[in-house]
Structure 1
């Protein structure tokens, strides 16, 4: 019975780790898509995007600089 309990605990821990990695990957993917979309819209209005992001784009800041003299 104890061997079976160890395998269940090991399986649950492994599943938790895999799900955590999956969720972090999905968050990073969607943040990158959001940055890409915002950059494309900035280029469409003649601006230049300025993006600062950390590892995996978990935190980022976005600015669109346009030439107001045109």
Structure 2
């Protein structure tokens, strides 16, 4: 996944846990009413059913590790 500074990725949840790894740049990871800053080299475990959203602070590239049977629900 990737984004440009100022991008706000869609809010969603998934049925299983996954891991987000930041390869380049910085973002704020919004989950459970808290914003966690992440930078290059950081990772975060996302629990199942946790609504979350990524706000890109500086041009961002990351990897989302997830099982192939993951299902998403998106919110507006």
Scaled by the length of structure 2, the TM-score of the pair is 0.29
Relative to its length, the structure with more strand (as a share) is 2
The structure with the larger Rg is 1
Q: Which has the higher contact order (CA 8 A, sep 6+)?
A: 2
Q: Which structure has more helix as a fraction of its residues?
A: 1
